[in-house]
A and B are shown apart, each in its own frame.
Chain A
Amino acid sequence: MFAYIRAHKLLSFAVAFVALQVLLAIFAPIVSPHDPFVQVMVQRMKGPNVLNWLGTDQLGRDVFARILYGYRTSLMTCVSAVALALVTGGTLGMLAAFYGGWLDRITMRVMDVLFAFPIMLLAIGVIAVLGPNAWSAAIAIGIVYMPIFARLLRGPALVICESEYVMGARAIGASDARIVFLHLLPNLASVVLVQTSLLLSAAILVEASLSFLGLGAQPPIPSLGLMLSEGRNFLMLSPWPAIFAGFAILFLSFGFNLLGDALRDTLDPRLRGRD
């Protein structure tokens, strides 16, 4: 265990950094010293102090508590979004590779089209249809990232489908499902793991941007992007909520990006030092 940590310092650090933040989000109700919704009017816009570690916002709510719950909102939205992208996009990509022909051509064309949209624009379009809230943001981000997983999985899936051990499995009469679940999926796991982590990092920034614009989670839900946009209006009176919310977004996104990067090195030594 210790030898492994020594050998993979960067990866261990990334895992610990991400795990800390995820645990803080999960156990927010236990960890948080205050209720994120309670407004204490006499304590408005205080800087960091003993009672409120990171100060209070314009309504006298504890910033630390709101950041912990903001982590929750952000992680729930982004994990759902990336899971949606992985399941739909990944399935489409693998099926396209597995069955080939027209299915392949049409599926990948549709993915090309979705991929052609600048990320924020497609997300804004989806949210325009579904109405602004956290779930719309999750679905929007999921749709935006779907083609990335479809493309990512189609290539390796094609190679694996042509490989000798899959042909061997077919020859002894293995079913399609058996080949997909026993041979295809395990061989794609490391690619998926790396990309999931990197996309989570990107999704956190997109979600923060969307809720900053008022297109994601709506008040009074604690959300990091909303904290930034609300804090911006009171910047001269108290910069703390905006400053801390920004750091929270940065740390969360940074952690997942570093994790993906370190995972890629560890899982695929050929790519060491590349990007």
Chain B
Amino acid sequence: MSSRFLLGRIADLVVVLFGVSIVTFLIIRLIPGDAVAIMLGANTEVTPDRMAELRGRLGLDLPMPVQYLHWIGGVLHGDFGTSIWTGRPVIEEIGANIWPTLELTLLSVIVGAGLAVPLGAFMAQARGKGSEVAVRIGAIAGLTIPSFWLGIVAIFLLSKYAPGFAPLGYVPFSEDPLGNLQRMVLPVIALSLPMLANLSRLVRSAMLDALGQDYIRTARAKGAGRRLVVYKHALRNALIPFITSVGVSAGYLLGGAIVIEQVFAIPGLGRLVLGAISERNYPLIQATILVLTGSFVIVNFFVDLAYAVIDPRIRRR
């Protein structure tokens, strides 16, 4: 990888992260009306003293650019602000709630992407009009089925027919590994299904593309077996577009996880951010969005780099 390519990508990354920080910073500043009165109004009586105190604490009486510099300076030193109500650093509350969300998202990415490859490769073997339509309808249905609804129906069926199986709540993996995984089964299935539908269709069409290429014919002509050609030659090339899609889907899953957490009563970031919205705890909302989006952007940066390592054509562009 040329250093010029790498530097260009890093510059892109910095610009996007800067933009993300500006958008997140603006969340409190764009609230219509007096943000401080609105925040206080959620939980307590609004008095001029309290308003002046909070305004000073959030630094809202300074000019905007100065406010931004204060805020971003704090963020770069790990200070994401303090909760309006508890006065604790919001990063502590995020740290206490992030693990269930990360576990749910990661497991779903692994399950969704892991199953998509064999499923897509298998579906690529089925050609012809009937199976073409079946694959398409199946993929669209999988993609558009509301995963939170799937979760609710699963909970209903289980509690009706298998009341012993406790699907709700969360226990940390370190305390009870089996109980943890048992409670993760349903949320992961519900969350990964749309990704599985999307990615397996992608793998299938990439496989069909690859199977039509000259090098496949060459491999077959050399006498390579059908299985070898499908799984080694075609699949490898089909995986290239697949990798980018996994990175993008991870962001989609992160959003889906917030909803699924509500369904399965998992105490993760979804619950934290929804609670923060109802008590108008803006510093907490801001920090959660910044942390999650920032990590998502950085993950995708590495996915892009991995993509360039695998496919030399990207580097030359």
A residues adjacent to B (C-beta < 8 A): 10, 109-110, 112-114, 116-125, 127-130, 132, 201, 205, 208-209, 212-215, 228-229, 231-232, 235-236, 239, 242-243, 245-246, 249-250, 253-254, 257-258, 261, 273-275
Contacts and interface: CB of A to CB of B under 8 A. Distances in A.
A201 B144 contact: yes
19 contacts: A109-B15, A112-B12, A113-B22, A116-B16, A120-B254, A121-B255, A124-B277, A124-B285, A125-B289, A128-B27, A129-B31, A205-B146, A214-B278, A232-B263, A235-B155, A239-B156, A249-B146, A253-B144, A274-B205
Tell me the interface secondary structure of chain A in the complex: helix
B153 interface: yes
B19 A249 contact: no
Given A119-B255, A121-B289, A232-B152, A113 B273 contact: no
A214 B278 CA distance: 10
Closest 3 CB pairs of A and B: A120-B255, A113-B19, A246-B149
Contacts of B205: 273-275
Instruction: Among A125, A215, A261, find the residue whose CB has the most chain B CB atoms closer than 10 A.
Output: A125
Contacts of A258: 137, 140
A112 B255 contact: no
A118 B293 contact: yes
B148 A212 contact: yes
Interface in B20-39: 20, 22-24, 27, 30-32
A213 B148 CA distance: 10
B297 interface: yes
B254 A125 contact: no
B259 A250 contact: no
Interface of B: 12, 15-16, 19-20, 22-24, 27, 30-32, 132-133, 136-137, 139-141, 143-146, 148-150, 152-153, 155-156, 159-160, 201-202, 205, 208, 251-252, 254-256, 258-259, 262-263, 273-274, 277-278, 282, 285, 288-289, 292-293, 296-297, 300
A109 B18 CA distance: 11
B157 to A, nearest CB: 9
A118 B149 contact: no
A119 B32 contact: no
Contacts of B143: 257
Contacts of A110: 19
A129 B27 contact: yes
B278 to A, nearest CB: 8
A10 to B, nearest CB: 7
Contacts, number: 148
Contact of B132 (A123, A125, A273): A273
Given A119-B255, A232-B152, A246-B153, 20 more contacts: A118-B255, A118-B292, A118-B296, A120-B256, A120-B259, A121-B293, A124-B285, A125-B24, A125-B27, A128-B27, A205-B146, A209-B148, A209-B255, A209-B256, A212-B148, A215-B274, A228-B146, A242-B153, A250-B141, A257-B144
Given A113-B20, A235-B155, A250 B144 contact: yes
A219 to B, nearest CB: 15
B145 A128 contact: no
Nearest to A262: B136
B23 A128 contact: no
Contacts of A10: 133, 136
Given A125-B27, A128-B285, A246-B149, A212 B259 contact: yes
A231 B153 CA distance: 11
A10 B140 CA distance: 13
A130 B285 CA distance: 14
Contact of A119 (B153, B156, B252, B262): B252
Contacts of A232: 152, 263
Contacts of B140: 254, 257-258, 261
B201 A275 contact: yes
A213 B258 contact: yes
Contacts of B292: 118, 121
Contacts of A112: 12, 15-16, 19
B317 to A, nearest CB: 15
Nearest to B276: A128
A245 B208 CA distance: 37
Contacts of B132: 273
Contact of B144 (A231, A245, A254): A254
Contacts of B150: 246
A256 to B, nearest CB: 8
